[in-house]
Structure 1
Amino acid sequence: GRSRRGRSSRAMASSGIAYPDRFYAAAAYAGFGAGAPSTAAISRFQNDVALLLYGLHQQATVGPCNVPKPRAWSPVEQSKWTSWHGLGSMPSAEAMRLFVKILEEEDPGWYSRIPEFINPQPVVDIEMHKPKEEPDIVPALTNGTGTSSIPEPKTISENGSSVETQDKVVILEGLSTVSAHEEWTALSVSGQRPKPRYEHGATVLQDKMYIFGGNHNGRYLSDLQVLDLKSLTWSKVDAKLQAGTSDSAKTAQVSPCAGHSLISCGNKFFSVAGHTKDPSDSITVKEFDPHTCTWSIVKTYGKPPVSRGGQSVTLVGTTLVVFGGEDAKRCLLNDLHILDLETMTWDDVDAIGTPPAPRSDHVAACHADRYLLIFGGGSHATCFNDLHVLDLQTMEWSRPKQQGPIPSPRAGHAGATVGENWYIVGGGNNKSGVSETLVLNMSTLAWSVVSTVEGRVPLASEVFLLSNLLMLK
């Protein structure tokens, strides 16, 4: 048919270039060559194709892979190295021909779209020979759609009106009043709002956001509030604490607490740790059943961590990973513990490498079910802006090289992950609140600013909490 004849004629045109120039032209078009236009970036390809093209380009221009596997935490560089190393001793000429063959299969008309100004030249990826420095990132591995996964900065004023963005999209079914893309919008909610607080816990479960406890003017709270995300209506949950294990056991009120963590898992959620008026020696784990509106104390096994607040608790598979915080004597911590939710058994972990300095009020996230990221937090004297990564398979800490504008020090901020992006908002540095909302691409470790607020607004408060479904996506 017509498409076959068109493809044949384009293939004949490209076949008129002799090797190695034919390869260099293809490499430039795919985004590897010097002078390649931004519109011809390799990000047009799927990740597996992009990795194969990368490996073939390295094999053709550098030769067999004889550099060590990257040790620094970077899934991108690990994948690039694996693709190149897997080609073994393939000759350069064969790698060139295979590169062009794959490109023509993926994009038959590539040659007809090469601008005349391109002067194909071999480009050697020398960064692979410098594992201690931040290597270049293949754009295809940040987003398979051909667009950057890092959004452009947006700015909103104190009254919430946008002064830059014009993108509009509905972000969540039920939140019909929210239509702004990559900017914050004040929601119109009904019902009695919870009293102001900080150091509370929040989590989303079955289209509802639950808020538990916190600190109100120095007084610990024990109330459980819920926001229906479909109707945007607040209500208070009349929750009781199950005092025993039998059906006839008495119920009581749950103890007020602050600095705890709420984690949803299945059809229930847990409250882990937290400061209380009469602290226990070790961390307390409570479970809330939304069907019976009942709290219960979870019996755990193994050696539980010391009681604390301001820690991070991250759900990784069927485990909870607890890091840091501040104990009842205001001693800062940087210990690591894992609670197996299937056996409810604690395990204190002796990781290798240099851990983060003792801290509290930091944020943590899990990437690719393997890497635990820790960002920011504070001690009694200072705030941090460092990023640490724990490989949960090797249990090794590392300090990866970051890209983009490095965030300022902060504590009391909040984080939520959406795909590979980790959004950071709020917090402060003991002097003022932080005005910008940041995003970290967890694959490329590139920071960028999503939006900035102006004036004294809640988004720039020094103690903040964020729930995934209320993030603007």
Structure 2
Amino acid sequence: MMRSIFSAIIFLVLTRVVYAIDPRWGQGCTYIDRTEQIYCFGGEPFSENSQQILVYALNITGNSVLDLSEPQWTDIPGDPNGIRPSAASRFTFTGFPGTDTFYIQGGIVCTSCNYNSGFKYSVSSNQWNQTNKNKPVVDASSALVNDILYSFGGQTSPLTGYDQSNTTYRNTVYYINAKTGADGPSVKPQNETQLPPFTWASSMVYSYVYRSLFIFGGKQLSATEVTASMSDITVVSPQTGVYSKWKNIRSTSGSLPPARWGHSTIIDSSNRTVVMFGGCNDSGKAMNDLWLFNLDDAVWSPQETTGTPPTPRCRHSVVVLGKYMLVLFGGNDGTFNSDINVALDMTTWKWTNAPTNILPSDSSPPIDFPNSSSPQGSEGINEGGDSSSNISGGAIAGIVIGSIVGEDSSSLCLRNETDI
């Protein structure tokens, strides 16, 4: 009861109702349980109004139907006299489970805007705080592990608002304590000759079973710019700094998922099965297919669904609540989707714009997709790790843009940059 009153007070004080949020892509979204709302930040296209609303929220009700066909988002003006980041897209973003805070860094910014270093935002106080002055990166993939935000790849460019003339690309993992903004200690990669190509617009998840980060897809730069094949999965052990490739990847359908960038991946509570949705191909055309990747068997499987799927999109956001995966916003070849919010019931694989009883419950069983029980192992992987997920309040964790998860973070890997 007290929690509901607290949520209502914050809702009334900080927000005003709007009946639609314009379609967009490149935003970041997260769920905050203290207010029972999904919060999103930024996205393109940018408004010509320099005072545009940066944060917007969708109220979630546990025992009713959530109407995603006409969702009532609310905007949060923020403190006009306080510090705040610039309007941005394709930034690094995470929310902190059990708190009312989220963190953003980098991204493409609005014209003539200052670059975004690290900022965190508190919903209850409606205040932004700058946590660091790090060089901004755009299109990095990331995963939250306890309070450590691991990021991979990405690029810096004049579009980030940073004072530089050249684009700089990355192909290593680096990290930051997202709560404090402090950079953590890092170690040189142990197998530099096996570092992946410079990569951006990929996706990344963390598996507790394998104690490793798994990186899927994205655009890569070697001799030319290409889109990474779904047989080219990079694995990074944060504990040892070893980079490797997941081996013997195959598909139950006979063909691998099409190469893509700007897609989303999440991992189930067993930490053995990855769910991938959408993304864009080499020519910028978007997809709306759904695939499962079994880490133990290194097998891709297309997942059939019922209901009306979201229109094809990339650079969307995914938020997982209970048994539902919510797909939010996104674009397709320079156009933006009108069905900006759609939910997938991952117990029935049915798409819906009217999910019910959406809030996660501590009593709800976790969702584990079918998989085998024998890890295949890979260089740099600690086999036979703890299979407990440490994921509370929901069935699945992951990131989109993330995503989008908790483990020891005593060492990581230096970024590797080159000027192009």
TM, length-normalised to structure 2: 0.59
Amino acid at match of 1:310: A
**Larger relative strand fraction:** 2
Q: What is the aligned partner in structure 2 of residue 237 from structure 1? A: 131
SS state at 1:377 partner: strand
In the alignment, the residues of structure 2 paired with residue 171 and residue 284 of structure 1 have an alpha-carbon distance, to the nearest angstrom, of 30
**Larger relative helix fraction:** 1
C-alpha contact (below 8 Å) 1:285/1:298 kept by paired residues: no
Q: What is the aligned partner in structure 1 of residue 397 from structure 2? A: none
Tell me by how many angstroms 1:221 deviates. Answer: 4.2
In the alignment, the residues of structure 2 paired with residue 321 and residue 308 of structure 1 have an alpha-carbon distance, to the nearest angstrom, of 14
Q: Deviations over 1:249-305 (max 9, x none)?
A: xxxxx4332101232212322222102346778612222135764325553334222
Q: What is the aligned partner in structure 1 of residue 407 from structure 2? A: none
Q: What is the aligned partner in structure 2 of residue 399 from structure 1? A: 302
In the alignment, the residues of structure 2 paired with residue 260 and residue 321 of structure 1 have an alpha-carbon distance, to the nearest angstrom, of 14
Matching of residues 59-458 of structure 1 within 5 Å: 157-158=19-20, 172-173=33-34, 181=61, 182=66, 183=71, 184-190=73-79, 191-205=82-96, 207-217=100-110, 221=115, 223-239=117-133, 254-277=134-157, 283-290=171-178, 293-296=181-184, 297-302=186-191, 303-317=194-208, 318-328=211-221, 329-334=224-229, 335-350=232-247, 351-353=249-251, 354-368=255-269, 369-381=271-283, 382-436=285-339, 437-450=341-354
Q: Let me know the Cα RMSD of the aligned residues.
A: 3.4
C-alpha contact (below 8 Å) 1:387/1:399 kept by paired residues: yes
C-alpha contact (below 8 Å) 2:141/2:401 kept by paired residues: no
Give the 3 Å change call, closer, same or farther, for CA 439–299 of structure 1 in structure 2.
Answer: farther
Tell me by how many angstroms 1:171 deviates. Answer: 6.7
In the alignment, the residues of structure 2 paired with residue 414 and residue 236 of structure 1 have an alpha-carbon distance, to the nearest angstrom, of 24
SS state at 1:376 partner: strand
Tell me by how many angstroms 1:323 deviates. Answer: 0.3
Q: Deviations over 1:343-379 (max 9, x none)?
A: 3322211311232211110111112322111111112
In the alignment, the residues of structure 1 paired with residue 128 and residue 403 of structure 2 have an alpha-carbon distance, to the nearest angstrom, of 15
In the alignment, the residues of structure 1 paired with residue 179 and residue 100 of structure 2 have an alpha-carbon distance, to the nearest angstrom, of 14
In the alignment, the residues of structure 2 paired with residue 226 and residue 355 of structure 1 have an alpha-carbon distance, to the nearest angstrom, of 39
Give the 3 Å change call, closer, same or farther, for CA 180–389 of structure 1 in structure 2.
Answer: closer
In the alignment, the residues of structure 2 paired with residue 388 and residue 159 of structure 1 have an alpha-carbon distance, to the nearest angstrom, of 29
Give the 3 Å change call, closer, same or farther, for CA 413–281 of structure 1 in structure 2.
Answer: closer
In the alignment, the residues of structure 2 paired with residue 180 and residue 391 of structure 1 have an alpha-carbon distance, to the nearest angstrom, of 31
In the alignment, the residues of structure 1 paired with residue 143 and residue 136 of structure 2 have an alpha-carbon distance, to the nearest angstrom, of 18
Tell me by how many angstroms 1:175 deviates. Answer: 7.2
Tell me by how many angstroms 1:201 deviates. Answer: 1.0
Tell me by how many angstroms 1:321 deviates. Answer: 1.1
Q: Tell me which moved more, 411-420 or 181-190.
A: 181-190
Amino acid at match of 1:361: G
Give the 3 Å change call, closer, same or farther, for CA 218–313 of structure 1 in structure 2.
Answer: farther
In the alignment, the residues of structure 2 paired with residue 309 and residue 218 of structure 1 have an alpha-carbon distance, to the nearest angstrom, of 22
Q: Deviations over 1:295-331 (max 9, x none)?
A: 2555333422211110001122232110000123431
Q: Deviations over 1:64-94 (max 9, x none)?
A: xxxxxxxxxxxxxxxxxxxxxxxxxxxxxxx
In the alignment, the residues of structure 1 paired with residue 336 and residue 120 of structure 2 have an alpha-carbon distance, to the nearest angstrom, of 27
Equivalent residues, number: 280
Q: Which structure 1 residue ranges, 5 or more long, are not aligned?
A: 1-155, 161-169, 240-253, 452-463, 469-473
In the alignment, the residues of structure 1 paired with residue 19 and residue 264 of structure 2 have an alpha-carbon distance, to the nearest angstrom, of 26
Give the 3 Å change call, closer, same or farther, for CA 279–396 of structure 1 in structure 2.
Answer: farther
Tell me by how many angstroms 1:218 deviates. Answer: 8.0
Q: Which structure 2 residue ranges, 5 or more long, are not aligned?
A: 1-17, 23-30, 38-56, 158-165, 356-399, 405-420
Identify which of structures 1 and 2 has the higher relative contact order when contacts are C-alpha pairs closer than 8 Å and 6+ apart. Answer: 2
Tell me by how many angstroms 1:188 deviates. Answer: 4.7
Matching of residues 50-61 of structure 1 within 5 Å: none
Q: Tell me which moved more, 216-225 or 255-264.
A: 216-225
TM, length-normalised to structure 1: 0.53
In the alignment, the residues of structure 2 paired with residue 198 and residue 178 of structure 1 have an alpha-carbon distance, to the nearest angstrom, of 19
Give the 3 Å change call, closer, same or farther, for CA 431–213 of structure 1 in structure 2.
Answer: closer
Tell me by how many angstroms 1:158 deviates. Answer: 2.9
In the alignment, the residues of structure 1 paired with residue 34 and residue 179 of structure 2 have an alpha-carbon distance, to the nearest angstrom, of 23
Percent identity at matched positions?
Answer: 22
In the alignment, the residues of structure 2 paired with residue 178 and residue 325 of structure 1 have an alpha-carbon distance, to the nearest angstrom, of 29
C-alpha contact (below 8 Å) 1:178/1:187 kept by paired residues: no
C-alpha contact (below 8 Å) 1:260/1:272 kept by paired residues: yes
Amino acid at match of 1:445: W
Q: Tell me which moved more, 311-320 or 174-183.
A: 174-183
Give the 3 Å change call, closer, same or farther, for CA 173–393 of structure 1 in structure 2.
Answer: same
